[in-house]
Chains A and B, each alone.
Chain A
C-alpha cells in the first residue's frame, strides 16, 4: 500500500516556508493533535487522497501542541480540532460551507471524494481570483459545530 506520509510541522519557520514555497497550488494545513481520534480520521483521508490532488494541492500537518505554533493558533482563531486551513499563493482562502466559521474547515471529511471536491472548489476559485468560495458538498456531509466566543 503506497501510504504517503504527510509532513508534520512543529515550528513556525517551517510553516512559514511551506506557505511561501507552495506556488500555484492549494496548500492544505491541518491543525490538530495526532493521537486525537478525529484527527486520525482526517489524517487518514488526507493521506489517501494526497496523491490524487498532488498536481494542484499539497498537504501538511501542523501539531498544535508545539510552542512555536501557538502564534498561529491565535492568529487563525483555532479553537476546535481538527481544523484545516487552505492557502493559495500565501493567501488564505475562505470557504462558505454553511457553518459559522468560513476561514477554516472544522472536523473530518466523510470520504476522500469530499476532500477532493473541496480542494478542487478552492483551486478553481483561486484560479479565478476569488478569495472565498462556496462549498460543493451537501449540508449533511459538513460537520456541524458550535463556535463559542472566548469560551463563554
Chain B
C-alpha cells in the first residue's frame, strides 16, 4: 500500500525537477479516523477511494439503512407509540453523531422522522458523503423529504382524532366495520389497535414480539425494536379481533410472517399460571388406569419430586420393599383390607451364636421355642449332674446280671472300684461255691503271695487226709536264715 513516500529521487531526465518533485512528492498528512473503516489512517483524501474503504462503506450504509427501514415503514403507516415502548426506540444517526430518542413522541419514530427531515441532518449527511465518498444517490436514502413528512403528519392527526372518537363508542362494532370498509389498511390497523389498547393484555404483545424478534434480524437495533413493537402491536391486534389468518407484509427487511388465530385455552396459559397441559394429562391417566404393578412404581416415582428415584434394585430387601409398597398403596386406596399378620412373624435375623444362614438360625429359634413350650415349667436344675460312669460299667449294665441286685431303672448304683483280678476270682467263687456262699458281700481274703500259695498247695497235697478241714495255719514270717538257725 502506498504509504507516504519520502521525497523521490530526482529524475535526471526530468527537466523541471522541482515541479516533478512536487508532483511526485506525496503529502504527508496527519492521521485521521475513518468512521466507516473504523481505523486511523494517514492517507488523507485518498483513503476514500481505496477498495477496502469502499467495501466498508457499503456495509456501513446497508446497516444504517436497515435501521431506518422501520422509520420508513412508520412514515407510511403511522401508529401510536406507547410510552412503555418509547424508551426502547432510539436511533443513532451516524451522520449527525447523535441519539434520537422517542421519549416525548406520541407516534412511533416521530422524532426520527422529524430528524431525518430536518435541515441539520441534511447538512451533516452531505458532509459525510463528501468526506467518505458515497455518491449523491445516497442522499435520498438517508433522509426524508418534506412532502413525505407532511403526509405523515396528516395521517398522525387523523389517527389521533379517530382514537378519540372511538374511545367514546367502545362497543360500536358497526363503526369499526365502517372504518374497515372506508379507510385504508393503515387506519384499520390503528383502529383495531386502539380497540386493542384498551382490551389487550399488557402481556399479549410480548408473545408476538419475541416471535418476530427471533424471525427478524438478530441485531439489537433500537429502531428495529421500534419496528418490532409496532409490528407486534399490529399483529396482536390482528390476533384478538381477526378470525382468520392474515399475512401482514412488513416493510423491507422483514420476512413474511403468518399470523394464526389462537383460540383462548380454557385452562389458561403460562401467563395466568395454569399448569401445563402435559401435567394434566398425566394426572388423568393416573386416575383412569387401574392398579398395576408398573403403575405402582410409576406412582411412587412420580410422587418423588425431581430426582430420578430408581432405587438400586440390588439393595437389601428390594423385593420385600416393592411388595410392601404395593400392599400399602392398595391399603391406602382401601382395596385391600389390612391383614393381621401372623403373630409369630419374625424378621430376618442372623443370631449371635449360630453359624449358618439366617433361615437356619430362625429355624433353631423356632425349635427352641417349641422345646420350651413342651417342657412347660423349667426344672430347677436345667441339667442333671450325673456321676462319672465309665464305659465299662455302662457296657456291663447292658448285660443283664440276674444275681446282681435289681437296680433302679434311672439311677445307677455307685459301686466301689473292683480290679480285674478280684472280679475274676469273684467269678470263680461264684461258680464254685454257689450253695455255700450267701449272696452277700464278697469275702475279703488276706493277701497271699504266689510263693505261699505254692507251699500251701504242696502242703495240701500230701496231707490231704490229715488236714481236711483245718484252716490254713498262718505262720509268722520266718526267714530261711532264721529257720536254719532255728533248726540248728
Number of residues of chain A lying within 8 A (CB) of chain B = 32
Task: Compute how far the CA of A129 lies from the CA of B320 in the bound complex, rounded to whole angstroms.
Answer: 13
Interface string of A95-107 (1 = CB under 8 A from B): 0000001010000
- Nearest CB of chain B from residue A56's CB, rounded to whole Å: 12
Interface string of B235-252 (1 = CB under 8 A from A): 000000000000000000
Q: Say yes or no: A90-B347 contact (C-beta < 8 A), given A23-B325, A127-B312, A128-B314.
A: yes
Among B320, B343, B368, the residue within 8 A (CB) of A89 is: B320
9-residue interface stretch from B109-117, B141-149, B349-357? B349-357
Interface residues of A in 94-131 (CB under 8 A from B): 94, 101, 103, 125-131
Cβ-defined contact, B358 with A24, below 8 A: no
Cβ-defined contact, A126 with B316, below 8 A: yes
Interface string of A11-25 (1 = CB under 8 A from B): 011001001110110
Q: Which residues of B contact A125 (CB under 8 A)?
A: 316
Instruction: Report if B324 contacts A (CB, 8 A).
Output: yes
Instruction: Report if A31 contacts B (CB, 8 A).
Output: no
Cβ-defined contact, B315 with A23, below 8 A: no
Interface string of A121-144 (1 = CB under 8 A from B): 000011111110000000000000
Task: Compute how far the CA of A90 lies from the CA of B261 in the bound complex, rounded to whole angstroms.
Answer: 60
- Nearest CB of chain B from residue A20's CB, rounded to whole Å: 6
Instruction: Report if B417 contacts A (CB, 8 A).
Output: no
Summarize B's interface: helix, strand, loop or mixed.
loop
Cβ-defined contact, B349 with A129, below 8 A: no
Instruction: Report if A5 contacts B (CB, 8 A).
Output: no
Task: Compute how far the CA of A101 lies from the CA of B135 in the bound complex, rounded to whole angstroms.
Answer: 100
Task: Compute how far the CA of A29 lies from the CA of B225 in the bound complex, rounded to whole angstroms.
Answer: 68
Cβ-defined contact, A92 with B358, below 8 A: yes
Interface string of B362-393 (1 = CB under 8 A from A): 00010011000000000000000000000000
Cβ-defined contact, B348 with A92, below 8 A: yes
- Nearest CB of chain B from residue A147's CB, rounded to whole Å: 7
- Nearest CB of chain B from residue A84's CB, rounded to whole Å: 14
Task: Compute how far the CA of A12 lies from the CA of B345 in the bound complex, rounded to whole angstroms.
Answer: 9
Task: Compute how far the CA of A77 lies from the CA of B318 in the bound complex, rounded to whole angstroms.
Answer: 26
Cβ-defined contact, B352 with A103, below 8 A: yes
Instruction: Report if B317 contacts A (CB, 8 A).
Output: yes
Q: Which residues of A contact B315 (CB under 8 A)?
A: 24, 88-89, 126-129
Instruction: Report if B49 contacts A (CB, 8 A).
Output: no
Q: How many inter-chain residue pairs (CB < 8 Å) link A and B?
A: 84
Cβ-defined contact, B316 with A93, below 8 A: yes
Instruction: Report if A3 contacts B (CB, 8 A).
Output: no
Cβ-defined contact, B351 with A13, below 8 A: no
Q: Which residues of A contact B343 (CB under 8 A)?
A: 12-13
- Nearest CB of chain A from residue B324's CB, rounded to whole Å: 6
Q: Which residues of A contact B365 (CB under 8 A)?
A: 74-75
Instruction: Report if A51 contacts B (CB, 8 A).
Output: no
Among B312, B325, B328, B369, the residue within 8 A (CB) of A128 is: B312
Q: Which residues of B contact A147 (CB under 8 A)?
A: 352
Cβ-defined contact, B325 with A92, below 8 A: no
Cβ-defined contact, A75 with B351, below 8 A: yes
Interface residues of A in 44-103 (CB under 8 A from B): 71, 74-77, 87-94, 101, 103
Chain A residue, CB-CB nearest to B338:
A17
- Nearest CB of chain A from residue B380's CB, rounded to whole Å: 16
Cβ-defined contact, A149 with B353, below 8 A: yes
- Nearest CB of chain A from residue B110's CB, rounded to whole Å: 63
Instruction: Report if B321 contacts A (CB, 8 A).
Output: yes
Cβ-defined contact, A16 with B345, below 8 A: yes
Task: Compute how far the CA of A75 lies from the CA of B325 in the bound complex, rounded to whole angstroms.
Answer: 27
Cβ-defined contact, B320 with A21, below 8 A: no
Task: Compute how far the CA of A42 lies from the CA of B362 in the bound complex, rounded to whole angstroms.
Answer: 29
Q: Say yes or no: A127-B311 contact (C-beta < 8 A), given A20-B341, A90-B348, A92-B350.
A: yes
Instruction: Report if B346 contacts A (CB, 8 A).
Output: yes
Task: Compute how far the CA of A127 lies from the CA of B315 in the bound complex, rounded to whole angstroms.
Answer: 4
Cβ-defined contact, A92 with B349, below 8 A: yes
Task: Compute how far the CA of A58 lies from the CA of B134 in the bound complex, rounded to whole angstroms.
Answer: 83
Cβ-defined contact, B311 with A91, below 8 A: no
Cβ-defined contact, A103 with B314, below 8 A: no
Contact surface of A with B, Cβ cutoff 8 Å: 12-13, 16, 19-21, 23-24, 71, 74-77, 87-94, 101, 103, 125-131, 147, 149
14 residue pairs A–B, Cβ–Cβ below 8 Å? A23-B328, A24-B311, A24-B315, A71-B346, A74-B365, A75-B349, A88-B317, A90-B348, A91-B320, A91-B347, A103-B351, A127-B312, A129-B318, A131-B316
| 17 further A-B pairs in the complex, CB-CB below 8 A; given A90-B317, A93-B316, A127-B316 | A13-B343, A21-B324, A23-B325, A24-B315, A87-B347, A88-B317, A89-B320, A90-B320, A90-B324, A91-B317, A92-B350, A94-B350, A101-B352, A127-B312, A128-B314, A129-B312, A131-B316
Which 8 A/B pairs are nearest by Cβ-Cβ distance? A89-B317, A129-B314, A77-B352, A126-B316, A91-B317, A92-B349, A89-B321, A127-B315
